[in-house]
Chain A
Amino acid sequence: MSPLLVAFGIGVAFGAVLERAGLGDARKLTAQFRLTDLTVFKVMFTAIVTAMLGLVWLERLGVVDTARLAISPTWLLPQAVGGLVFGVGFVAGGYCPGTSCVAAAAGRLDALATLGGIALGTLLFGAALPLLEPLYRATPLGTVTLPEVFGFARGTVVLAVVVAALAAFAAAGRIERRAERR
């Protein structure tokens, strides 16, 4: 199958899944951060845990060779700072890049504005790169995973993430019920 056909198919499925999950809705997306509706958190962690466990088992069955899957390298400081700035933008914009595409495709003009803003921000970053370069290139750690950082076996970390996710899902349910009563 042509790689671009796969890319398109994966995009369509990703878009439809996000829309069906209600993640094309700015209210639902920001309710996550006001702690009234934790759908975003639940969808995100379900996806992460499913893909993580899927990769572990498919590798064990010999279907996938995870050594051939590219892992983005870690740049600790710029990723921490970028995440902070991004989080502030997420609450202001009401969408993240993927969900703003979905919402804009569903007719929401504010999502279109967010998309335009992302393009503008990218441009700004490019223009300011000489200034940002020291931060952008700080703390390169290469391709490094959590098991390597903490010195545990991968299975241990996978188990820890699953247990943490289950505990967090239970806590999320409790927070949502409390928000409903208010």
Chain B
Amino acid sequence: MLLLAFVLAGRGLGVSGAVAYAVAYAVGMRGAAGDDGGSAAGTGTWLLVEVAGLLVGGALSAAAAGRWRGAVERGAATGARARLLTALGGGVLMGVGARLARGCTSGQALTGGAQLSAGGWTFMLALFAGAYLVAFLGPRRLRRQLA
């Protein structure tokens, strides 16, 4: 899949970049997207169309497999509002982190990883370090929110 993107489009995949461009465009703030115009994941319009496809592909696949369900994923001991707030907060951290690193799981870890980019591997290792730190040492309620 990732290989197909390299061969057909001459670039890798990117998701957070599309969000960044959408936000930057919506508020007319050029700084929000940072300066990754020359990133391996591609330019604004290309990314936006790719993410539109991502939404369609995800919805179609879920519907076809009977997995489409309007719900808040949460553990038995976690309220819907608490889960939505943590989900939002996690998103904020990822938004900041992805811009700081100039890419997310798809643009840095997957695309950069396959290209053996030093920055891509740095990001991926740091991501796993941060995630395991919280998953093992973070607040118990956060760790149990989906259990």
A-to-B contact residues, CB < 8 Å? 1, 3-4, 6-20, 24-27, 30, 32-34, 44, 47-52, 54-55, 58, 63-64, 66, 68-76, 78-111, 113-127, 129, 132, 135-136, 141, 143-149, 154, 157-158, 161
Contacts and interface: CB of A to CB of B under 8 A. Distances in A.
A132 B61 contact: no
Given A11-B50, A83-B97, A126-B23, A64 B6 contact: yes
A157 B100 contact: no
Given A70-B38, A78-B100, A87-B129, A106 B59 contact: yes
Q: Interface on chain B toward A: helix, strand, loop, or mixed SS?
A: helix
Contacts of B4: 10, 13
The 10 A-B residue pairs with the shortest CB-CB distance in the complex, in nearest-first order: A117-B91, A121-B95, A11-B53, A93-B90, A83-B126, A87-B130, A15-B57, A82-B101, A89-B93, A126-B32
Contact of B112 (A50, A72, A99): A72
Nearest to A1: B8
Contacts of B42: 7
Given A51-B114, A72-B112, A81-B126, A124 B15 contact: no
A97 B51 CA distance: 10
B2 A84 contact: no
Given A83-B129, A87-B134, A108-B72, A14 B50 contact: yes
B118 interface: yes
Contacts of A87: 97, 126-134
17 contacts: A8-B50, A15-B57, A33-B131, A47-B114, A72-B108, A83-B108, A83-B130, A85-B94, A87-B129, A90-B130, A91-B90, A93-B90, A103-B58, A110-B73, A113-B84, A120-B91, A145-B117
Interface residues of B, number: 115
B95 A12 contact: no
